[in-house]
Amino acid sequence: MTRAILACTGLDKPEGSVAREVAVAGAEAAGLEIVCPVLLHRAPARYKKILEQGALTVVDGCSTRCATRLAAQVGATVERKILVSDAAKRSGQPLEASLRLGPVGLALARSLVGDLLSAPPQAAPAAESGAEFEPPTEFLVVTYDKFEFRIPAVDYAFNENDVWARAVGGVARVGISDFLQQRLTDVSYFDPPPVGAVVEQFGEMGTLESTKAVFEIVAPVSGTVVAVNEAVRANPGILNEDPYGAGWLLEVTLTHPQQDLELLLDPAAYAESVNRRAAEA
C-alpha cells in the first residue's frame, strides 16, 4: 500500500507553514509520498494509484479542514489526521504571527513528525470486553417525507445528542443513532478517545467527521473506555450501514449506570424527539 501525506499548505496563516513543514519532514523521515493539494484538486488523476490503493495522512492547518474536505471529495482513505491549530494549543506555545516558519513553528512541526514516526497509523485492535451484544431485531420507525429513521425498540438508551448506549452487565456499547448518521451523511473519519480514557456522562467521547461537520460524540454514560471498534476506524462507512450493530463505536465499563440512566431517553421517548426534529432542514 502506498502511504502518502496531504497537507493544507495554507498560505495565509502560520499554521499552513507548519502543515507544509510536517509534510516535507514527514516525507523525508517516514518515506511518505507528498500529495500536493492544489494539483490533487486540479488533476486528481495524477494521484490515481494513491487514491485507489493507498492511505493518506492528512494535515490540516486550521479548523476549516481544507485538506480533510479535499480528501473526502476525492474519496481517499484517511488513516491518520493532524490538526496543527489544536496541536499548537495543546503545546501551550502560541505560534509566531509571521507567515514564515519561526522557531516555535519549526519545533511544533518536528514534534508532530516525531508523533508520526512513533505511532503506527492503525493501532492493534483492542480486546473487546467479551460481553455478548446481540444486534437489535425490533425497531420503532419514524418517517418524515421520504426518510425513515429506525430506533431499536428495546435495550437501547439515548441522550438528546443522538448517541446511544446499550448495557450488558457492567459494560456498555456506545454508538450513534440512525437519525444522526443520516444527518451527517457519509462519515469519513472516526477519531476515538484512547483505550483507558475516563469519560464523564455528557463529556466528549471522540469525534466523527463527514464533509458536512465535525460531530462531537457526547458520552451517554460515565465510564472507562475499554475497546474501540477498529473496523469502523478502518472503514467508517460501516457506521452508515449498520449504526446499531456492526457500527458500534466504543465499549465502556460503567461507573454509575443507574444514575446515568435517569438522564437518558428510552426508545419511545427518543422516537418522539426524532419525530419533532425530523422536519428541520
Partner 1 sequence: MPDPTFMGVPRERISWFPTIDYGKCNFCMECDRFCPHQVFERREGDPRLVVANPVHCVVFCRACAKACGPDAISFPDKAETIAQIKQVRAEGGGR
Q: In sequence order, which ranges of the chain are alpha helices (DSSP H)?
A: 14-30, 37-42, 48-53, 66-73, 84-91, 103-118, 178-184, 230-234, 237-241, 257-261, 267-277
Nearer to partner 1, 129 or 222 (CB): 222
Our CA angle for 240, 124, 47, nearest 5°, is 60
CA dist 258 and 38 (Å) reads: 53
Q: Does 182 contact partner 1 by CB under 8 A?
A: no
> What is the DSSP code string of 4-36?
EEEE---TTSHHHHHHHHHHHHHHHHH-PEEE-
- Produce one character per residue of 81-96: b if its CB has 16 or more CB atoms within 10 Å, e if not: bbbbbebbeeeeeebb
- Scanning 72-80, 97-105, 128-136, 194-202 for contacts with partner 1 by CB under 8 A, the matching segment is 194-202
List 136, 191, 202, 235, residue binding partner 1 (CB under 8 A): 202
Q: Does 213 contact partner 1 by CB under 8 A?
A: yes
Chain mean position to CA 281: 23
Q: Does 20 contact partner 1 by CB under 8 A?
A: no
Per-residue mark of binding to partner 1, 261-280 (x: CB under 8 A): --x---------x--xx--x
Q: Does 164 contact partner 1 by CB under 8 A?
A: no
Q: Does 110 contact partner 1 by CB under 8 A?
A: no
CB-based contact 154:270 (threshold 8 Å): no
CA dist 85 and 95 (Å) reads: 9
Nearer to partner 1, 136 or 203 (CB): 203
Per-residue mark of binding to partner 1, 51-70 (x: CB under 8 A): -----------xxxx-----
Q: Does 81 contact partner 1 by CB under 8 A?
A: no
Name residues whose C-beta falls within 8 Å of residue 53's C-beta, 6 or more positions apart in sequence.
1, 2
Name residues whose C-beta falls within 8 Å of residue 150's C-beta, 6 or more positions apart in sequence.
139, 140, 141, 178, 244
Per-residue mark of binding to partner 1, 132-161 (x: CB under 8 A): ----------------------------xx
CA dist 152 and 178 (Å) reads: 10
Q: Does 91 contact partner 1 by CB under 8 A?
A: no
Q: Does 13 contact partner 1 by CB under 8 A?
A: yes
| Min CB(121)–partner 1 separation in Å | 23
| Min CB(233)–partner 1 separation in Å | 19
Q: Does 218 contact partner 1 by CB under 8 A?
A: yes
CB-based contact 237:186 (threshold 8 Å): yes
List 28, 148, 200, 241, residue binding partner 1 (CB under 8 A): 200
| Min CB(152)–partner 1 separation in Å | 21
Residues near partner 1, by CB under 8 A? 13, 62-65, 85, 160-161, 200-203, 207, 212-216, 218, 263, 273, 276-277, 280-281
